[in-house]
DNA sequence: TTGCTAAATAGCGATGTAGTAATATCATAA
DNA sequence: TTATGATATTACTACATCGCTATTTAGCAA
């Protein structure tokens, strides 16, 4: 049975692409990585990612705009956390896929059994 | 039990980001959509996507570079097809996620029960 | 109020890439 | 060989956005 292929409007395609695009930057992945297990302050994220404050803040804004993280202010600090579990699913899927591919390449590059010198 | 968070090198993050980035363009999604069920010639893809020949060809090159599609030449025509099933998984995951989010928003916007005018 | 800290925002240069038009390549036919 | 059709490639413009620096805003304390 072939996979189902829905009709997709240009707007729908844009929504889907936007979702992927947000995840298509290493720095944003790094930030999400820092938020993987628990919410963190911006300061902590800056330290964990070794990013500049302005950069991290901008990326956090994008992640929030995309609805992937939420913002909570407490005193001087702002806490961010991942609010859309799709982040976990997508990243795990990609990691597994890359793992499989690289494993396959390793197999191709495996040394042949030794032959005796002529 | 918290989700596992692996240590990721900069190179690994770049690989993952690249994967997402390729899917982060509506035109490439449109092309993959045209290839969803079966391999197609470039000409068919051009017609299905209403894209310009040069543009479609360039995007197909990127998709192949990313290892998501393969190329098969037969006479004058070139057939492309999806070779990495991760495409299906990722797109379905994102679509479901968007579906859920929009459904939730619809609920929030649902009209309240009618009240009698004062 | 002033001062200090955390975070957000604005402005800038550099880079990447989408889309387009023109040209080149490749395979077949005549 | 030349001609034709299907793709790929090149060159170009326009636009988005990354990282960086400087500035601004917001909360708290003295």
* Residuewise pLDDT in 10s, chain B (118 residues): 666 777 788 999 999 999 999 999 999 999 999 999 999 999 999 999 999 999 999 999 999 999 999 999 999 999 999 999 999 999 999 999 999 999 988 998 888 877 666 5
Residue A110: inside a domain, yes or no? Answer: no
Q: Are B20 and A24 inside 8 Å of each other by CB?
A: yes
Calculate the CA dihedral of residues A12, A15, A20, A24 and round it to 10 degrees. Answer: 140
Q: Where in the sequence is the domain holding A23, given as residue range(s)?
A: 15-83
Residue A35: inside a domain, yes or no? Answer: yes
Cα A110 from chain centroid (whole Å): 30
Residue A53: inside a domain, yes or no? Answer: yes
The CATH number linked to A20 is 1.10.10.10
**Which tokens sit at A98?**
């890359």
Residue A10: inside a domain, yes or no? Answer: no
Residue B96: inside a domain, yes or no? Answer: no
Does nucleic acid strand C have an atom less than 7 angstroms from the CB of B15? no
Residue B88: inside a domain, yes or no? Answer: no
B21 reaches A (C-beta below 8 A): yes
For the entire predicted model, the pTM comes to: 0.89
> Using one digit for the tens of pLDDT, what is the confidence trace for A94-106?
999 999 999 988 9
CA distance A114 to chain B (A): 32
B60, exposed or middle or buried, with CB in 10 Å at 0-12, 13-18, 19+? buried
Q: Tell me how many domains chain B contains.
A: 1
Asked whether the predicted pLDDT for residue A3 surpasses 80, the reply is: no
Residue A100: inside a domain, yes or no? Answer: no
Beta carbons of A56 and A49 less than 8 angstroms apart? yes
Residue A91: inside a domain, yes or no? Answer: no
């Amino acid at each position: 049975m072939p996979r189902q292929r829905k009709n997709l409007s240009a707007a729908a395609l844009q929504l889907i692409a936007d979702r992927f695009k947000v995840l298509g930057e290493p720095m944003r992945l790094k930030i999400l990585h820092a938020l993987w297990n628990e919410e963190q302050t911006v300061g902590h994220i800056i330290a964990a990612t070794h990013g500049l404050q302005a950069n991290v803040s901008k990326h956090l804004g994008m992640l929030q705009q995309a609805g992937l993280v939420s913002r909570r202010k407490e005193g001087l600090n702002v806490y961010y956390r991942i609010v859309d579990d799709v982040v976990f699913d997508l990243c795990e899927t990609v990691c597994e896929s890359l793992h499989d591919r690289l494993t396959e390449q390793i197999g191709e590059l495996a040394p042949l059994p030794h032959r005796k010198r002529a």
